[in-house]
Amino acid sequence: MKQDNKEYAERNLFNGLNGHSLISPLESQNNLVEPKIRLGILASGKGSNFEYIIKSIQKKQINAVISILIVNNPNCLAIKKAIKYNIPYVIINHRDCNSRLEHDKLVMKKLEELSVELVVMAGWMRIIGEELINKFNNRLINIHPSLLPSFKGIDAIEQAMDKRVTITGCTVHHVQKEVDSGSIIIQAAVPIKDKDSIETLKKRIQEMEHIILPLAIAKVAIEIRTNFKDKK
């Protein structure tokens, strides 16, 4: 009987992890910053992470306002979400620029104009240059679909499957010059199942992205507000 209880407890422990994921560090969301942190979101794709940021603001899990959504691709679906939730957005098409620097400068100008404090790359499929990175030093974060430092680059999910790792996940990190290399803010682990396809794995990774990105925003917002106070 005792043995049964032990096994039951062990099973419960794994149930606690939901059999899907493990997030670290697990931060409390109760430390809401005041005043609201002004966010600038950069996106190129379907904008599901963008939408979850909006939802976490609505649920008061983060005390923030989205000052602007910037997209580099005029066909990007994130625009539809901005319209749906009445969030200001601007298209800064890199194809209209002569250089990466020119594009970065337009992005930077818009962020500064609106006094954005924290920039979130939520599926931003462009490498950005040093000037923009330095301007938002420690205030520019990115979400990547792997447990960094493994599987950097655009095809992170495919790389993890090719290498036959059994656990992958997602990472929110500060942005540095080297792609997918800045210091790690939060990660979630996602086991790869035998039957997984790229699509099924991507879906489970994205479910975790939608949880950890708002958590990372809350964490960095506190750091920004704390540093600001120190400087006063």
Hey, which residues are catalytic here? 144
Distant-in-sequence, close-in-space partners of 226: CB < 8 Å, separation ≥ 6: none
Query: Which one of 6-14, 142-150, 179-187, 190-198 is the stretch in contact with ligand GRF (CB under 6 A)?
Result: 142-150
Residue in 23, 29, 32, 45 binding ligand GRF, rule: CB under 6 A: 45
Helix, strand, or coil (residue 57): helix
How many residues touch ligand GRF (CB under 6 A)? 14
What is the distance between the alpha carbons of residues 196 and 209, in angstroms, rounded to a whole number? 18
Query: Which one of 18-26, 41-49, 85-93, 184-192 is the stretch in contact with ligand GRF (CB under 6 A)?
Result: 41-49
Assigned token pair, 174: 């500060």
Phi, psi of 140 (to 5 degrees): -135, 115
Residue in 104, 180, 196, 209 binding ligand GRF, rule: CB under 6 A: 209
Residue in 22, 27, 46, 135 binding ligand GRF, rule: CB under 6 A: 46
Helix, strand, or coil (residue 169): strand
What is the distance between the alpha carbons of residues 173 and 121, in angstroms, rounded to a whole number? 10
- Order across the sheet with 64-71: list the strands: 22-24, 184-191, 167-174, 140-144, 118-121, 37-43, 64-71, 89-91
> Shortest distance, CB of residue 232 to ligand GRF, whole angstroms?
35
Which residues within the stretch 104-133 sit at the binding site for ligand GRF (CB under 6 A)?
Answer: 122-123
> Shortest distance, CB of residue 31 to ligand GRF, whole angstroms?
25
Q: Which is nearer to ligand GRF, 144 or 204 (CB)?
A: 144
Q: Which is nearer to ligand GRF, 122 or 217 (CB)?
A: 122
Which residues within the stretch 147-176 sit at the binding site for ligand GRF (CB under 6 A)?
Answer: none
Residue in 47, 169, 182, 214 binding ligand GRF, rule: CB under 6 A: 47
| C-beta neighbour count of 66 within 10 angstroms | 20
CB 140 within 8 A of CB 113: no
Q: Cis omega (within 30 of 0) on the bond before 214?
A: no
> Shortest distance, CB of residue 143 to ligand GRF, whole angstroms?
5
Residues that bind ligand GRF (CB under 6 A): 43, 45-50, 122-123, 143-145, 206, 209
